Structure 1
Amino acid sequence: MADYGKLKYLSGFGNEFASEDPRCPNALPKGQNNPQKCAYGLYAEQLSGTAFTAPRVHNKRTWLYRIRPSVLHGKFKPLHQGNLSHNWDEWHPDPNQMRWHPFALPDPSLGRVDFVEGMNTVCGAGDCRSRNGIAVHVFTCNASMGDKCFYNSDGDFLIVPQKGTLMITTEFGRMSVAPNEICVIQQGMRFSVEISEASRGYVLEVFNGHFTLPDLGPIGANGLANPRDFLTPSAWYEDRSCEYTVVSKYQGKLFYTQQEHSPFDVAAWHGNYCPYKYDLDNFMVINAVAFDHADPSIFTVLTCQSNKPGVAVADFVIFPPRWSVQEHTFRPPYYHRNCMSEFMGLIKGKYEAKEEGFQAGGATLHSMMTPHGPDAACFEGASNAELKPQRVADGTMAFMFESSFSMAITKWGGLTCQKVDEKYKECWEPLQKHFKSS
């Protein structure tokens, strides 16, 4: 387990990084990527995350130096889908404000459920075949994956653990990801998840491009998520013969194959296409210090941009502990309607605008142009509170997957999970008319 902590700084996006397992010094070739014979009898293999001809500033690829090439596997066969779905027409469109109680952990009396088996799609939009869209999943698992790994041919995963630490082995090395941390496993990267207790969390899948840091504009050179706080694994390999299962998500379906060795046999790698993690406590909060609100985009950790300037396929936004000091201002989030879809989750604590009802491990979805905002108790309390500097959201971490896509709910999200809060809309019913004409 000690190896899970051996991480190194991912000091910027787009830069070149290199790592080799200390058991194989000088495994990285000098001066070229693909020598006639690699050191230690390794195979050179490139993993490309963009088209070969993408502009250099956007080009993503990594060279892996491994004991066996990844092509050594059997034939892929269909695998049971479970509750993983990209069928956005299986449930009726619903513009209502949606809230889910905490998603249930697997019942151990019914058997073992690992990360892949416990992935359930809540909502999404678009088409993974044309590489345009997103999906939002929750995972609930009570077992490690063992001799099984998973990779996504359709896009990138942004994983947000809510309960239980995930010990993730990748081709690039190993990392632990605890609640209040996130990790990104990019398209095509094989990984396996080990757990020590029943675990739950959220997954944002993007079919377009990759996540990047948002531009800072007038904020300047510093603030929000700083590049130096992102970590990527150090090279670590295992040379192990075994019956190993490789699961692929391809065109929204699951397939599996078997091979006679561990896929985590990479002794060294270099490139700019790798998995990474980030501790949300490192986010440098920017906020209003005079009056009114800055837009919630100031809380963006990572963004996946569309082809339209300034319009995101998806943003990952957090609402961390911070000071609130605005004068003459209703301080909680204001009532609003949005041309974006907003899926929110709660990692811990109580969200300031809805301290009752919205629970850790649950979620909300506010669809395009559906009005939403603080509940009645929050409105009355904040409208009459003394406006002195105060801490907000201590002990709390809420987040939002915001997207320019109009997301549809799956049948699992709308019915099968049995966690829809049918009384959600009641939180606004006590709002009163305060208007006085004179």
Structure 2
Amino acid sequence: MNGDEAAGSVVTSAGPVGSEPRYLSGFGNEHSSEAVPGALPVGRNSPQRAPLGLYAEQLSGTAFTEPRAHNRRSWLYRMRPSAAHPPLRRIDHGALRGAPFDEVEPDPNRMRWDPLPEPPAGTDFVAGLWTLGGNGDARRRTGLAIHLYAANTSMTDRVFGDADGELLLVPERGALRLRTEFGVLVAAPGQVALIPRGVRFRVELPDGRARGYVCENYGQPFTLPELGPIGANGLANARDFLAPTAAFDEPTGPVEVIDKFCGRLWAAERDHTPLDVVAWHGNHLPYLYDLRRFNVLGSLSYDHPDPSIFTVLTSPSEIPGQANADFVVFAPRWLVGEDTFRPPYFHRNVMTEYMGLIEGAYDAKAEGFRPGGGSLHNMMSAHGPDRSTFDRASTAELRPERVDQGLAFMFETRWPVALTAAAVDAPHRQRGYDDVWQGLGRNFPESGGSAPS
């Protein structure tokens, strides 16, 4: 085990809202934790009688026979096995959708949305999920879905799990207190939480309301990108990813357990909570990561590297370098390039880019791109800075410049993103987005001679 907490550290319960959880440090590690001393078996995974009358249960995030370096699984020691539930029934899935996305034909136009409107009173995290679009097929474990959420009520008697993929949660407003089968994570704006496929959790809102983004990854689990010629250090450091220590909920009454399966929601009422894991060990784990810990690398001479240099996590595909999904962050950094157009350059990309804004402003758009909003540039859609940004950056005096007025991110994928009908018709979609590039006229002289000074 590699972490800040020793195996066997005692955490007697998840704790009340507002209490500080305890974490284990390191991404992809073999961690172990127990909330009650002696709950974790020693020397075996499934003894004839598990300690303290618990049930041993393996949760496999990958196939048994995948290479050891890729294999994700954890052993859970719980009060009751997950198998102890009545038949599942289909329930309303609201504005939540899943792949394949075929409501609307793929659209090459550039699109941008304002933040989600305020939800009705009593909306929890699951009810507040709103699907923008996606690609691939959840049944074939390829592609991704892009969701947003807006909620104003904590989940109290409901628990959620996703069989289709892992969930990367990006809070933009309000913290999320995530009570998972493995313990508690608290993700505030500027941090992200990764919930693996199949892990159940409920969401409490310490600030009373919350809004943000979700990347649902159907493909290979997110991992840290290879560093190549960067070397051994840089970008997102493994030690900065935090896993929870074991903690459990005490049974308090009936609980509705909701599972997302092949794009639809199914539920069953249980007389006990599934968040009853007393001890665990393995590497199929939830994580918390502070985006401000990202070690930004860049040019010390001229130009700036491609935005791939800002990749935090990647879900690889069978084609090296073409990710099923990438999560990219534009964190605070210094710009020092000489004779360099410093904002993101004009660009057409074989990869599809969805960008969101957590706080502040984005340096390629002077206005219109607001925290909680987002833009979609499908593959080969031309995009780049707007006119005012271009003019300012083309004439600015090039001194070392600190960019710390905003925190933006990108979900990038190898396939085009098909939108839902709700996203196309949304009142908060900006119908005049193309106008931001108006006024980028010809500067080359009509005569073909030298450019004007």
Instruction: Tell me the TM-score normalised to structure 1 length.
Output: 0.96
Partner AA of 2:406 in structure 1: T
Aligned to 1:358: 369
* Off by >6 Å, runs of 4+ in structure 1: none
Aligned to 1:429: 438
User: 2:69, 2:280 → 1: CA distance?
Assistant: 20
Q: Distance in 1 between matches of 2:357 and 2:193?
A: 16
Alignment of 1:2-151 (within 5 A): 5-13=20-28, 15-21=29-35, 24-86=36-98, 88-108=101-121, 112-151=122-161
Q: Is the 1:105–1:200 contact (alpha carbons within 8 Å) kept by the matching residues of 2?
A: no
Q: CA deviation at 1:418?
A: 1.2
> What per-residue deviation string (whole Å, max 9, x for no partner) do you get for residues 144-164 of structure 1?
111110000111110001011
* CA distance in 1: counterparts of 2:244 and 2:106, whole angstroms: 41
1:334 aligns with 2:360: no
Give 1:367's match in structure 2, choosing from 378, 382, 394: 378
Of 2-11 and 203-212, deviating more is 2-11
Is the 8 Å Cα contact of residues 10 and 276 (structure 1) preserved in structure 2? no
Secondary structure of 1:94 counterpart: coil
What CA distance in whole angstroms lies between the structure 2 residues aligned with 1:59 and 1:93? 34
In structure 2, the residue matched to 1:418 is 427
Paired positions, count: 430
Q: Which amino acid aligns with 1:228?
A: R
Distance 2:164 2:120 in 1: 30
List per-residue Cα deviations over 1:232-290 (Å, max 9, x = no partner).
Answer: 11000123141010000001110000110111111100001110110001001001110
Report the secondary structure of 2:253's partner residue: strand
Cα distance in 2 for partners of 1:243, 1:274 equals 26
Partner of 1:178: 188
Aligned partners of 2:344 and 2:384 also within 8 Å:
yes
SS of residue matched to 1:414: helix
- Cα deviation, residue 3, structure 1: 7.7
Instruction: Provide TM-score, normalisation by structure 2.
Output: 0.93
Q: Distance in 2 between matches of 1:133 and 1:360?
A: 26
**Contact 2:106–2:417 (CA<8 Å) still a contact in 1?**
no
Q: Secondary structure at the match of 2:224?
A: coil
CA shift for structure 1 position 2: 6.4
Q: What SS does the aligned partner of 1:413 have? A: helix
Aligned to 1:197: 208
Instruction: Check 1:254–1:2 CA distance in 2 against 1; reply closer, same or farther (3 A cut).
Output: closer
Distance 1:137 1:81, change over 3 A: same
Quote the Cα distance in structure 2 between the aligned partners of 1:263 and 1:355.
47
Distance 1:35 1:90 in 2: 50
CA–CA distance in 2 between the matches of 1:45 and 1:3?
A: 30
Aligned counterparts of 1:53 and 1:376: Cα–Cα separation in 2: 53
| Matching residue's letter, 1:421 | Q
Letter in 1 for 2:201: F
Structure 2 partner of 1:256:
267
Matching residue of 1:286:
297
**Kindly tell me: are residues 2 and 114 of structure 1, through their superposed partners in 2, closer, same or farther at Cα, counting changes over 3 Å?**
closer
- With over 3 angstroms needed to count, the CA separation of the structure-2 counterparts of 1:106 and 1:244, relative to structure 1, is same
Q: Tell me, yes or no, if the aligned pair for 2:27 and 2:242 is still in contact at 8 Å.
A: no
**Aligned equivalents of 2:40, 2:302: Cα separation in 1:** 55
**Structure 1 residues 315-330: aligned runs within 5 Å:** 315-330=326-341
Alignment of 1:206-245 (within 5 A): 206-245=217-256
Hey, what's the Cα distance between the residues in 1 that align with 2:132 and 2:286? Answer: 24
Give deviations 1:92-145, integer Å, cap 9, x for gaps.
Answer: 43211100011112133xxx1111111111010111011111100001111111
Give me the whole-angstrom Cα distance separating, in 1, the residues matched to 2:18 and 2:233: 32
Match for residue 12 of structure 2? none
| Structure 1 position 81, deviation (Å) | 1.3
Query: For the Cα contact (< 8 Å) 1:4–1:174, is it kept in 2?
Result: no
Counterparts of 2:409 and 2:363, CA distance in 1: 12
Gaps of 5+ in 2: 1-15
Identity of aligned residues (%): 49
- Does the Cα contact within 8 Å between 1:9 and 1:228 map onto a contact in 2? no
User: What SS does structure 1 have at the residue aligned with 2:136?
Assistant: strand
> CA–CA distance in 1 between the matches of 2:69 and 2:281?
17
SS at structure 2 position matched to 1:308: coil
Contact 2:24 2:245 in 1 (8 A): no
1:206 deviates by: 1.1
Separation in 2, partners of 1:381, 1:255 = 52
Question: Offset of 1:10 from its aligned partner?
Answer: 3.4
1:145–1:232 distance in 2 versus 1, CA, 3 Å: same
Shift of 1:40: 0.8
Deviation at 1:167, TM superposition (A): 0.6
